[in-house]
Amino acid sequence: MPLPPYISATPEAEGEYQTVYARVPGSAAAPTAGLHFTERVLDGVRRAGGTVQKITLHVGTGTFSPVRAEELAEHRMHAERYLVPEETARALAEAGRVFAVGTTAARTLESWAASGEREGETELFVYPGYRWRAVDALITNFHLPRSTLLAMVMAFAGTELVREAYETAVRERYRFYSFGDAMLLLNGGRGRT
Protein backbone atom coordinates (compact mmCIF):
# COMPACT_ATOMS: atom_id res chain seq x y z
CA MET A 1 0.00 0.00 0.00
CA PRO A 2 1.59 3.31 -1.04
CA LEU A 3 1.35 5.81 1.81
CA PRO A 4 1.80 9.58 1.67
CA PRO A 5 5.17 10.79 3.00
CA TYR A 6 3.57 12.31 6.11
CA ILE A 7 2.25 8.91 7.30
CA SER A 8 4.67 6.44 8.91
CA ALA A 9 4.56 3.05 7.20
CA THR A 10 3.24 0.63 9.83
CA PRO A 11 0.74 -2.23 9.56
CA GLU A 12 -1.74 -0.10 11.54
CA ALA A 13 -1.33 2.86 9.19
CA GLU A 14 -1.84 0.66 6.15
CA GLY A 15 -5.09 -0.64 7.65
CA GLU A 16 -6.34 2.84 8.51
CA TYR A 17 -5.36 4.34 5.15
CA GLN A 18 -8.17 2.59 3.32
CA THR A 19 -11.88 3.15 2.89
CA VAL A 20 -14.42 0.69 4.25
CA TYR A 21 -15.69 0.12 0.72
CA ALA A 22 -12.46 -0.35 -1.27
CA ARG A 23 -12.45 -3.67 -3.14
CA VAL A 24 -10.36 -3.42 -6.33
CA PRO A 25 -6.55 -3.20 -6.02
CA GLY A 26 -4.59 -1.06 -8.48
CA SER A 27 -4.65 2.53 -7.28
CA ALA A 28 -1.57 4.47 -6.19
CA ALA A 29 -3.58 6.11 -3.40
CA ALA A 30 -6.70 5.68 -1.34
CA PRO A 31 -9.65 7.94 -2.16
CA THR A 32 -9.08 9.93 1.04
CA ALA A 33 -12.40 11.78 1.21
CA GLY A 34 -13.87 8.32 1.70
CA LEU A 35 -11.86 7.86 4.90
CA HIS A 36 -14.55 9.94 6.63
CA PHE A 37 -17.16 7.25 5.88
CA THR A 38 -17.75 4.30 8.16
CA GLU A 39 -20.22 1.45 7.71
CA ARG A 40 -22.47 3.28 10.19
CA VAL A 41 -22.42 6.46 8.07
CA LEU A 42 -23.16 4.49 4.88
CA ASP A 43 -26.05 2.72 6.64
CA GLY A 44 -27.39 6.15 7.63
CA VAL A 45 -27.29 7.26 3.98
CA ARG A 46 -29.33 4.20 3.02
CA ARG A 47 -31.83 4.69 5.88
CA ALA A 48 -32.33 8.29 4.72
CA GLY A 49 -33.34 7.02 1.27
CA GLY A 50 -30.00 7.45 -0.49
CA THR A 51 -28.10 4.81 -2.37
CA VAL A 52 -24.41 4.05 -2.21
CA GLN A 53 -22.98 3.29 -5.64
CA LYS A 54 -19.50 2.03 -6.41
CA ILE A 55 -17.11 3.14 -9.12
CA THR A 56 -13.40 2.65 -9.73
CA LEU A 57 -10.60 5.02 -10.67
CA HIS A 58 -7.07 3.67 -10.43
CA VAL A 59 -5.42 6.87 -9.24
CA GLY A 60 -1.96 7.30 -10.68
CA THR A 61 0.87 9.40 -9.35
CA GLY A 62 0.12 12.03 -12.00
CA THR A 63 -2.89 13.17 -9.97
CA PHE A 64 -0.44 14.40 -7.35
CA SER A 65 1.95 16.12 -9.75
CA PRO A 66 1.88 19.86 -9.07
CA VAL A 67 0.67 22.18 -11.79
CA ARG A 68 3.83 23.70 -13.26
CA ALA A 69 2.39 25.15 -16.47
CA GLU A 70 2.17 28.93 -16.72
CA GLU A 71 -1.44 28.65 -17.87
CA LEU A 72 -3.65 26.17 -16.01
CA ALA A 73 -5.21 24.92 -19.26
CA GLU A 74 -1.75 23.82 -20.48
CA HIS A 75 -1.29 21.27 -17.67
CA ARG A 76 -1.64 17.66 -18.87
CA MET A 77 -3.04 14.89 -16.72
CA HIS A 78 -1.66 11.38 -16.85
CA ALA A 79 -4.10 8.72 -18.00
CA GLU A 80 -5.90 6.72 -15.32
CA ARG A 81 -8.21 3.71 -15.69
CA TYR A 82 -11.82 4.03 -14.58
CA LEU A 83 -14.95 1.91 -14.41
CA VAL A 84 -18.60 2.83 -13.81
CA PRO A 85 -20.53 -0.45 -13.47
CA GLU A 86 -23.78 -0.71 -15.45
CA GLU A 87 -25.91 -0.84 -12.28
CA THR A 88 -24.22 2.35 -11.04
CA ALA A 89 -24.70 4.11 -14.39
CA ARG A 90 -28.43 3.31 -14.30
CA ALA A 91 -28.79 4.52 -10.71
CA LEU A 92 -26.91 7.75 -11.47
CA ALA A 93 -29.02 8.44 -14.57
CA GLU A 94 -32.16 8.19 -12.40
CA ALA A 95 -30.76 10.07 -9.40
CA GLY A 96 -32.17 13.43 -8.45
CA ARG A 97 -28.86 14.53 -6.98
CA VAL A 98 -25.40 12.96 -7.27
CA PHE A 99 -22.91 13.32 -4.41
CA ALA A 100 -19.30 12.45 -5.27
CA VAL A 101 -17.20 11.43 -2.31
CA GLY A 102 -13.86 12.90 -3.33
CA THR A 103 -12.19 14.29 -6.40
CA THR A 104 -11.42 10.75 -7.52
CA ALA A 105 -15.11 9.89 -7.70
CA ALA A 106 -15.93 13.24 -9.31
CA ARG A 107 -13.30 12.73 -12.02
CA THR A 108 -14.58 9.22 -12.73
CA LEU A 109 -18.21 10.33 -13.01
CA GLU A 110 -17.35 13.33 -15.16
CA SER A 111 -15.17 11.17 -17.44
CA TRP A 112 -18.07 8.76 -17.91
CA ALA A 113 -20.55 11.60 -18.49
CA ALA A 114 -18.28 13.35 -21.00
CA SER A 115 -17.36 10.26 -23.00
CA GLY A 116 -20.42 8.04 -22.58
CA GLU A 117 -18.00 5.19 -21.93
CA ARG A 118 -18.46 3.30 -18.66
CA GLU A 119 -14.89 1.98 -18.77
CA GLY A 120 -11.63 3.27 -20.16
CA GLU A 121 -8.78 5.65 -19.55
CA THR A 122 -9.23 9.28 -18.66
CA GLU A 123 -6.95 12.28 -18.95
CA LEU A 124 -9.75 14.64 -17.93
CA PHE A 125 -8.44 17.74 -16.18
CA VAL A 126 -11.17 19.69 -14.42
CA TYR A 127 -10.37 23.32 -13.71
CA PRO A 128 -12.37 26.57 -13.43
CA GLY A 129 -14.67 27.04 -16.41
CA TYR A 130 -15.47 23.32 -16.64
CA ARG A 131 -19.14 22.48 -17.29
CA TRP A 132 -20.23 19.79 -14.81
CA ARG A 133 -22.31 16.98 -16.29
CA ALA A 134 -22.77 14.36 -13.55
CA VAL A 135 -21.89 15.67 -10.10
CA ASP A 136 -24.18 17.92 -8.03
CA ALA A 137 -22.39 17.76 -4.67
CA LEU A 138 -18.78 17.09 -3.70
CA ILE A 139 -17.32 15.95 -0.40
CA THR A 140 -13.58 16.55 -0.39
CA ASN A 141 -10.61 17.14 1.87
CA PHE A 142 -8.49 20.29 1.79
CA HIS A 143 -5.86 19.99 -0.97
CA LEU A 144 -2.46 21.53 -1.62
CA PRO A 145 -1.98 24.76 -3.59
CA ARG A 146 -1.08 24.34 -7.28
CA SER A 147 -2.63 20.86 -7.36
CA THR A 148 -5.04 19.46 -9.92
CA LEU A 149 -7.27 18.48 -7.00
CA LEU A 150 -7.58 22.08 -5.80
CA ALA A 151 -8.24 23.19 -9.40
CA MET A 152 -11.17 20.74 -9.52
CA VAL A 153 -12.55 22.02 -6.22
CA MET A 154 -12.33 25.60 -7.56
CA ALA A 155 -14.07 24.50 -10.76
CA PHE A 156 -16.88 23.08 -8.67
CA ALA A 157 -17.44 25.77 -6.05
CA GLY A 158 -15.88 28.85 -7.60
CA THR A 159 -12.41 30.26 -7.15
CA GLU A 160 -13.32 33.05 -4.73
CA LEU A 161 -15.48 30.88 -2.48
CA VAL A 162 -12.74 28.25 -2.26
CA ARG A 163 -10.13 30.90 -1.47
CA GLU A 164 -12.34 32.17 1.36
CA ALA A 165 -12.85 28.61 2.64
CA TYR A 166 -9.10 27.98 2.62
CA GLU A 167 -8.37 31.25 4.42
CA THR A 168 -10.83 30.16 7.10
CA ALA A 169 -9.31 26.67 7.23
CA VAL A 170 -5.82 28.07 7.77
CA ARG A 171 -6.99 30.64 10.34
CA GLU A 172 -9.03 28.05 12.26
CA ARG A 173 -6.23 25.47 12.01
CA TYR A 174 -8.19 22.85 10.06
CA ARG A 175 -6.26 19.74 9.19
CA PHE A 176 -5.28 19.25 5.56
CA TYR A 177 -4.33 16.09 3.63
CA SER A 178 -5.56 12.52 3.96
CA PHE A 179 -6.76 12.45 7.56
CA GLY A 180 -7.74 16.10 7.59
CA ASP A 181 -11.00 17.93 7.69
CA ALA A 182 -13.51 17.67 4.86
CA MET A 183 -16.00 20.02 3.28
CA LEU A 184 -19.32 19.54 1.53
CA LEU A 185 -19.74 21.62 -1.61
CA LEU A 186 -23.09 22.01 -3.35
CA ASN A 187 -23.73 23.53 -6.74
CA GLY A 188 -26.90 24.60 -8.48
CA GLY A 189 -27.25 21.35 -10.39
CA ARG A 190 -25.76 19.65 -13.37
CA GLY A 191 -24.93 21.88 -16.28
CA ARG A 192 -23.71 24.70 -14.04
CA THR A 193 -20.41 26.22 -15.12
pLDDT(26) > 60: yes
Domain count across the chain: 1
Q: What is the pLDDT of residues 109-165, one digit of tens each?
A: 999 999 999 999 999 999 999 999 999 999 998 888 888 999 999 999 999 999 999
Q: Is residue 161 one of the residues assigned to a domain?
A: yes
Helices (H), 25-85: 39-47
Q: Is residue 123 one of the residues assigned to a domain?
A: yes
| Pair type for strands 99-101 and 137-141 | parallel
Say if residues 143 and 117 touch (Cβ distance below 8 Å): no
Mean predicted lDDT score pLDDT of the chain = 84
pLDDT(1) > 70: no
Q: Is residue 67 one of the residues assigned to a domain?
A: yes
Q: Is residue 13 one of the residues assigned to a domain?
A: no
Residue 21's contacts (CB-CB under 8 Å, 6 or more residues apart) are 34, 37, 42, 52, 54
Specify the higher pLDDT residue, 60 or 127. 127
User: What CATH number does residue 159 fall under?
Assistant: 3.40.1780.10
Question: What pLDDT band is residue 181 in, cutting at 50, 70 and 90?
Answer: confident
For 164, the domain range is 19-186
Q: What is the pLDDT of residues 69-114, one digit of tens each?
A: 889 899 988 888 899 999 999 999 888 889 999 888 999 999 999 9
* Percent of the chain scoring above 70 in pLDDT: 84
Q: Is residue 2 one of the residues assigned to a domain?
A: no
Question: What pLDDT band is residue 192 in, cutting at 50, 70 and 90?
Answer: very low
pLDDT given for residue 85 in this prediction? 93
User: φ, ψ for residue 26 (rounded to 5)?
Assistant: 140, -10
pTM, entire model: 0.83
Q: How far from 66 is each of 5, 60, 76, 96, 149, CA to CA, in Å?
A: 15, 13, 11, 35, 9
pLDDT given for residue 38 in this prediction? 84
pLDDT given for residue 193 in this prediction? 37
pLDDT given for residue 125 in this prediction? 94
Q: Is residue 77 one of the residues assigned to a domain?
A: yes
What strand order describes the sheet that includes 99-101? 99-101, 137-141, 182-186
Q: Is residue 78 one of the residues assigned to a domain?
A: yes
CA 63/CA 79 separation, integer angstroms: 9
The separation between CA 67 and the C-alpha centre of its own chain, rounded to angstroms, equals 17
3-state secondary structure of 141: strand
pLDDT given for residue 161 in this prediction? 93
Buried b (16+ CB within 10 A) or exposed e, 11-40: eeeeeebebeeeeeeebebbbbbbbbbeee
Q: Is residue 193 one of the residues assigned to a domain?
A: no
Buried b (16+ CB within 10 A) or exposed e, 127-141: bbebebebbbbbbbb
Q: How far from 171 is each of 48, 167, 175, CA to CA, in Å?
A: 34, 6, 11
